[in-house]
Structure 1
Amino acid sequence: MNPERLAPRLFGRRVPLVLVAWLAAVWVTLWGDLSVGNVLGGLVAGLVVTWLLPMPVLDPGLRLRPVALVVFLVWFAWDLVLSTARVVFWVAHPGRPPSQIVRTPLRTTSDSMVVLILVALSTVPGTLVLEVDERELVVHVLGRREDATEIARADVAELESRIVRAFGTRRDREELG
């Protein structure tokens, strides 16, 4: 589809029609009454807002690769199950669970990839990102006994690789080697 058709020019500025339609729908929803006047008012308000306050063109630095995404999601779901079982075991087990704070380096320099890694790590039970410092993460790991440092570093490196394969740009994938 031609992008010119989705964002025609109005007095020299591009006006994205999809955004105008979305703003009109929000307008009608906020008024709580589906009428011709509200729809037209929403379209006019959407046109004015998008023309007066143009959005900059941003590239979030994400590329979606469906096969790698499915592989990542299956692996991540399995990691969630194992981590949940580990946390449940230590909650039900008497005594203090083993925990450790681990510094682990990241190989990627993409801010988008780092944010996805942080979200994924914070989602996994028993793992919490405490600090991000110059492409190095400080992670709290619960429930690992032997070699917790090396296991945590390997887990973060594996997560990073899978996220970059699923969402990274060509440059991101080249950084990992």
Structure 2
Amino acid sequence: MTGPRGTTPAVAGPPPRRGRLGRWRDQALALGWLVVVWNLLWGEVNWANLAGGLLVGGAVLLFFPLPPVTFGGRLRPWALLVFAVNFGTELVSASLHVARIAVQPGYRPRGAIIAVQLRVPTDLNLALTAEAVSLVPGTLILELDRDSGTLYLHVLDTHGPADLTAARERTLAVERRIIRAVGSAAELRRVQSDPVERGIRP
């Protein structure tokens, strides 16, 4: 039975509990991503790597606490599967490309540094996009501007403006797939309403 409209003591208690649950959820999500990254770095998923990832991830979160990164999105399994398939395809394709460069006699690839401004400049999206881009051979994150949401990355084997444009488009496509997989409804509308070309700077 509800009390008078001006009476609020009965509803003052729940928010702190939800806040604690939210922090635990964010910590669990961060630990899960650290375990995923750990297994990707080893290149193999097995029980030893999973246990090692849990230990290393737990130690990182315990001894090197990061600023709180809130997760206000929603996990979408189908979009997450699409992201994983595309990421695996890009990983294999880029690995073959870098291997061809390594064994091609007398070939000297030209590198370039580009800036890509993300459309969703949250800490979580910056971290996930930067991690996904860095794990693909041939690209390396050099710097991250948190205030403007800009990634500065080194791209291997560029031949002209078309290659730089393609690298920017790939980075923004990675961001779009991540937002579709774990972003909020507002973030999803933002990446769907803005075409990729809008985030490209010459």
Q: Do both share a fold (TM > 0.5)?
A: yes
Aligned residue in 2 for 1:111:
123
Superposed displacement of residue 62, structure 1: 4.0
Aligned equivalent of 1:139, options 150, 153, 161 = 153
Structure 1 gaps of 5+ residues are 1-12, 20-56
Aligned equivalent of 1:161, options 172, 176, 180 = 176
Aligned equivalent of 2:109, options 97, 101, 105 = 97
The residue type equivalent to 2:181 in the other structure is A
Superposed displacement of residue 95, structure 1: 2.9
The residue type equivalent to 2:174 in the other structure is L
What is the alpha-carbon distance in structure 1 between the residues aligned to residue 137 and residue 72 of structure 2? 28
Aligned equivalent of 2:99, options 67, 80, 88 = 88
Aligned residue in 1 for 2:49:
none
CA contact (8 A) 1:107 1:175 kept: yes
**Mapping for residues 16-31 of structure 1, pairs under 5 Å:** none
What is the alpha-carbon distance in structure 2 between the residues aligned to residue 109 and residue 101 of structure 1? 20
**Mapping for residues 55-70 of structure 1, pairs under 5 Å:** 59-70=70-81
Superposed displacement of residue 110, structure 1: 1.9
What is the alpha-carbon distance in structure 2 between the residues aligned to residue 96 and residue 131 of structure 1? 25
The change in CA–CA distance for 1:60 and 1:85 in structure 2 (over 3 A counts) is same
**Mapping for residues 43-58 of structure 1, pairs under 5 Å:** none
SS at match of 1:151: helix
SS at match of 2:169: helix
What is the alpha-carbon distance in structure 1 between the residues aligned to residue 114 and residue 151 of structure 2? 8
The residue type equivalent to 2:84 in the other structure is L
Aligned residue in 1 for 2:89:
78
Superposed displacement of residue 72, structure 1: 0.7
Alpha-carbon RMSD across the aligned residues, in angstroms, is: 2.4
Superposed displacement of residue 58, structure 1: 7.7
Structure 2 gaps of 5+ residues are 1-16, 25-67, 194-202
CA contact (8 A) 2:90 2:136 kept: yes
Aligned sequence identity (%)? 36
What is the alpha-carbon distance in structure 1 between the residues aligned to residue 124 and residue 81 of structure 2? 19
The change in CA–CA distance for 1:99 and 1:77 in structure 2 (over 3 A counts) is same
What is the alpha-carbon distance in structure 2 between the residues aligned to residue 120 and residue 61 of structure 1? 20
Corresponding residue pairs, total: 126
CA contact (8 A) 2:133 2:141 kept: yes
CA contact (8 A) 2:158 2:164 kept: no
CA contact (8 A) 2:69 2:124 kept: no
